[in-house]
Amino acid sequence: MAKKPINKILFILLAVFLLPLLIFTVYQISTLNENEKVITEIYDKQLEAILFSVNQYSQDLVDAWARDISEAERDSLYTDERMEEFLLENEAVRYILWSDSTLHNTRLLSLDEQENSEVHALLKDSLVSKEEDLVRLRTFQKGGYAKKQPLGRLKVEGSLSNQSALIFLLEEGIRYQVCLLVLDPGLFITRTLAQKIQSIAQENFIISAYDDANNVQIAVLDSIKGKVPHKRPLWLLPDYSLGIVLKGETIQDLAKERTVNNLLILLGVDSILLVGLWLIYRNIKREIQLAQIKSDFVSNVSHEIRTPLALISMFAETLEMDRVGGENKKKEYYSIIRHEANRLASIVNKILSFSKMEAGKAKYDLKPTNLAKVVEGILKTYDYHLKSQGFTCKYLPYENLPSIQADKNAVSEALINLLDNAIKYSNGSKEIGIRLGEDANGVFIEVRDYGLGISVEDQKSIFDKFYRVPTGEVHNTKGTGLGLTLVWRIMEAHGGSVSVESQTEEGSCFKLVFPVPRNN
């Protein structure tokens, strides 16, 4: 077998198929990661936008409150009623502290029935301490921007602890008033903002708020478990933040799942391509092997024919010239000529049989046949041939062997081929065994030798046409590589089979199995 062209073809196939495949796979994997990055970024931005809209909403809400309070203040007849209504409607607003621009005249509003003078004083103090902020708010106001300034968590004890505050200015002609709102952050988030959060979150997200100072989650609907990658502070309550996650699978999970799916598809495509590549390689290898084997066949046959022809020609010439002394010598020469002519005939017959079979023209005349008779007939004919070469043949018959449907000539041809091989590949061991028998598969003939033997690898190919084992002493033995192919085809035509059991250096055993007709 020519190893070099096959290696070259393998190399070309690898270069043509595997290299682009490898490049494509690497490219796909790298773009997959890039795509995931882009998708993750888009999602990140979307989540940020959602948090932004919640913040914007709370800002709008406080702007609306400021307008309500301002209108209530102007409606001097019903100010108190309207403010009470406002406080009832917005339960997150605990206190409203009003003040004129001097911060001297202040008024506290709340739904609390209790004495609130202490709260009043505390809030007034904190308002006074925020004078700088008030100056800034006034500047903004003059510029037309009614800013609402969050003051964060009130650092006082009692009923104001854990409450947050914010201040803004109320315009009143050229004068202005200051308004300080005390908010209950929990209520603001779970009541005032809840509806908005719910409408945004719907089925897709979980939005939750966090009290950052105390590290507590204030869940609106569902609470978020684990780490929250998207968290933004609430503009109006700087000590609190909003977190958002995708409901069910997180975007990381989705991205991971997509990556895994894509990789699996890629792996599938790669495997299909590899299998295709392997099939192509196997076919090309077979074709090259066959071409090589055919050329070997031609040279084998030429060699096989040339030797007997040369011998026949040489001995005939010697006899013709009458140079042979003695009758015995003459007889020996005639015998050699006959033997070589038989050999020639057998080679030619083999090739003819094969070409008939290849053309589908082989005809088998299947008749009830007694296998034992066929075997014994051949052994009789072959006896001289075997003995002259020093072989002993052990024959084991079988009692009551059922008769089979067979073509006697074809079975003889198969058996002769096996016997020929047993002699050719005997490797010096001069014993051959023939056994008849019956088993579950039918009636069988076994031809056993103790010669060269056949490796497991070669056992797969010996029945292929033209195949000859390429190693060992086989090169010194003549042959066409057709004998076992003929045996195989003959057994096929009989609905039977041929099998081999062999071990190198130990010998081989070929078994022909014929089916037994049902009515037997």
Q: Which helix (H) or strand (E) holds 5?
A: helix 3-13
Task: Candidates 70, 106, 110, 480: give the one binding ligand ADP (CB under 6 A).
Answer: 480
Nearest distance in Å: CB 278, ligand ADP? 27
Q: For residue 484, state whether it binds ligand ADP (rule: CB under 6 A).
A: yes
Q: For residue 357, state whether it binds ligand ADP (rule: CB under 6 A).
A: no
Residues 281-300 that bind ligand ADP (CB under 6 A): none
Nearer to ligand ADP, 61 or 378 (CB): 378
Task: For helices 79-89 and 19-74, give the axis angle rounded to 10 degrees.
Answer: 150
Q: For residue 469, state whether it binds ligand ADP (rule: CB under 6 A).
A: yes
**What is the per-residue DSSP string for 106-135?**
EEEEES--S--HHHHHHHHHHHHTTHHHHH
Task: Candidates 452, 491, 498, 513: give the one binding ligand ADP (CB under 6 A).
Answer: 452
Nearest distance in Å: CB 465, ligand ADP? 8
469 touches 457 (CB < 8 A)? no
The Cα–Cα gap between 43 and 39 comes to 6
Q: For residue 498, state whether it binds ligand ADP (rule: CB under 6 A).
A: no
Task: Candidates 243, 308, 451, 496: give the one binding ligand ADP (CB under 6 A).
Answer: 451
Nearer to ligand ADP, 442 or 483 (CB): 483
Partners of 446 in beta bridges: 435, 511
Site string for ligand ADP, 423-442 (x = CB under 6 A): -xx-----------------
Nearest distance in Å: CB 366, ligand ADP? 24
The Cα–Cα gap between 331 and 333 comes to 5
Nearer to ligand ADP, 407 or 449 (CB): 449
Q: For residue 404, state whether it binds ligand ADP (rule: CB under 6 A).
A: no
Nearer to ligand ADP, 150 or 507 (CB): 507
Q: For residue 462, state whether it binds ligand ADP (rule: CB under 6 A).
A: yes
458 touches 425 (CB < 8 A)? no
The Cα–Cα gap between 489 and 403 comes to 21
- Three-state DSSP state, 495: coil
Q: For residue 353, state whether it binds ligand ADP (rule: CB under 6 A).
A: no
Q: Write out the two tokens for 372.
A: 């034992």
Q: Write out the two tokens for 88.
A: 């009832």
Q: What are the helix (H) ranges across 75-193? A: 79-89, 117-128, 131-142, 185-187
- Three-state DSSP state, 177: strand
Q: Which helix (H) or strand (E) holds 39?
A: helix 19-74
Nearer to ligand ADP, 217 or 349 (CB): 349
Nearest distance in Å: CB 462, ligand ADP? 4
Nearest distance in Å: CB 23, ligand ADP? 45
Backbone angles phi, psi at 100, to 5 degrees: -80, 180
Q: Which helix (H) or strand (E) holds 395?
A: strand 392-396
Stretch binding ligand ADP (CB under 6 A), from 204-212, 245-253, 387-395, 446-454: 446-454
Residues 75-79: contacts with CB under 8 Å, at least 24 apart: none
Q: For residue 449, state whether it binds ligand ADP (rule: CB under 6 A).
A: yes
Nearest distance in Å: CB 413, ligand ADP? 12
Nearest distance in Å: CB 358, ligand ADP? 15
Q: For residue 308, state whether it binds ligand ADP (rule: CB under 6 A).
A: no
Nearer to ligand ADP, 158 or 390 (CB): 390
Q: For residue 344, state whether it binds ligand ADP (rule: CB under 6 A).
A: no
Q: CA-based diameter of the chain, in Å?
A: 162
Q: What's the one-letter identity of residue 173?
A: G
Q: For residue 508, state whether it binds ligand ADP (rule: CB under 6 A).
A: yes
Stretch binding ligand ADP (CB under 6 A), from 188-196, 206-214, 383-391, 451-459: 451-459
Q: For residue 512, state whether it binds ligand ADP (rule: CB under 6 A).
A: no
Q: Which helix (H) or strand (E) holds 462?
A: none
Q: For residue 422, state whether it binds ligand ADP (rule: CB under 6 A).
A: yes
Number of residues in contact with ligand ADP under rule CB under 6 A: 23
Nearer to ligand ADP, 91 or 506 (CB): 506
Our CA angle for 297, 301, 303, nearest 5°, is 120
Measured distance between the N- and C-terminal CA atoms of the chain, rounded to whole angstroms:
47
Q: Which helix (H) or strand (E) holds 514?
A: strand 507-514
Where on the chain is the footprint of ligand ADP (CB under 6 A)?
A: 417, 421-422, 424-425, 449, 451-454, 462, 467-469, 474, 479-485, 508
